Amino acid sequence: METTSISAQPSLPSLPSLNNTHESPTQALYQCITTLRGHSSYISALAVDGNSLYSGSADRQIRIWTHTGHESRCTTITCESPIKSLLISKDTMFSSHQDHKIRVWHIYTKYTQPCRLQAVLPTAKDRILSLLSPGKHVQVRRHKKCTWVQHVDAVSALAFSDNRTILYSVSWDRSLKIWQLSSNKCIESVPRAHDDAISAVVISKLGFIYTGSADTTIRVWKMQEGQKKHKLVDTLQGHRSAVNALALSVEESILYSGSCDRSVVVWGGRDGHREATGALRGHTGAVLCLSVSGDLVCSGSADRTVRMWRRREDKGEHYCLGVLQGHGGPVKSLAMVTSDEDCGDECSSWLVYSGSLDCDIKVWKILVPSSERE
């Protein structure tokens, strides 16, 4: 199905390409410094916290790869269901799963016991209370109802509020759910947020929720002052095929969306008033994941590559700094952090982590010369 959509649905010709092909600025220097192996199925999620990389896989394992000084360790947590996404907040990890659930883990610093399961969302108490309120059941299939606190399909993505007190989850069941982390309770549900499966969610500092779906749209949600429910405030239409990934620039002036139409659409403006300003083209397969750090944007694709884009705010353009090649399968997940390496004023340095359907995680060192950043 994906192959058909990729070949039959090229990116929208009405959107101009923002990647400058007339100039050839100095490209980034990059190399794969290591490949992490251990998962027995594809890598579905990556997250970085301090010296640790967290990887989630369809093999039902979460692996924690820790590097301190000259020592590297890998510890493994076995879950009950394949992992779809990971989020880290201080000493807590959140994982979403194929079995419709979200798991909350306490992270220990000791390697002998890396994590302890704290809760499974929705909690048993939450489910029981919702069962006692028949009016709050929702129709999920023709002859089946479910409590409003439950997802009924894979939980595809998670995101935090700016103060990290609220967790947002989206699912292939087309719903958006909102969780209060102090109580682990579901406090709101939008049952039909899209017309098809939802694959991505990001939250702005002002509380705008962006959800990307297989229905080709990005929907924008906001809780207005004095109200208790989030309302749809905008629908962004710029893709011809499923939206797989979303990312906000650091200052949130740009929203990026990656799609099966092989493009990354760039949305300018501000929350509630965004418009497509153009598209980044170059991938020959579906764009499956995105990651942003500073003015560096990385996109992972079904074409087995990661493209690095650098934003030139003064010109409103993006340059492709290079293409990371080496995976034997589609690149499904990305994580990126600035490197501790001291380059002085000569360059900026990043570490990029890419996870693939080939079951490998590759670690890339990226150096962008200062001449390219001026």
Identify the pLDDT of residue 24. 45
Superfamily of domain 2-373: YVTN repeat-like/Quinoprotein amine dehydrogenase (2.130.10.10)
How many CA atoms lie within 13 Å of 366's alpha carbon, on the beta-carbon side? Answer: 29
- What CA–CA distance (Å, rounded) separates 176 from 213? 11
- What CA–CA distance (Å, rounded) separates 25 from 2? 34
Q: Which two tokens stand for residue 245?
A: 């990934």
Report the DSSP beta bridge partners of residue 248. Answer: 255
Report the DSSP beta bridge partners of residue 301. Answer: 287
Q: For residue 17, give the DSSP letter.
A: B
Identify the pLDDT of residue 18. 79
List phi, psi (to 5°) of 271: -50, 130
Q: Do 32 and 360 meet the contact criterion of CB atoms below 8 Å apart?
A: no
10-residue mean pLDDT series, the chain (374 residues): 39 72 67 97 97 97 87 92 97 98 91 85 86 59 69 98 97 98 96 97 97 99 90 97 98 97 96 94 98 96 98 80 98 94 78 99 92 52
Helix, strand, or coil (residue 40): coil
Sorted by sequence, the CB contacts under 8 Å of residue 84 that are 6+ apart come out as 44, 45, 56, 96, 97, 98, 154, 155, 156, 157
Identify the pLDDT of residue 177. 98
Q: For residue 161, give the DSSP letter.
A: -
Identify the pLDDT of residue 148. 86
Identify the pLDDT of residue 266. 97
Looking at residue 3, its amino acid is T
Identify the pLDDT of residue 6. 35
Identify the pLDDT of residue 112. 63
Identify the pLDDT of residue 93. 98
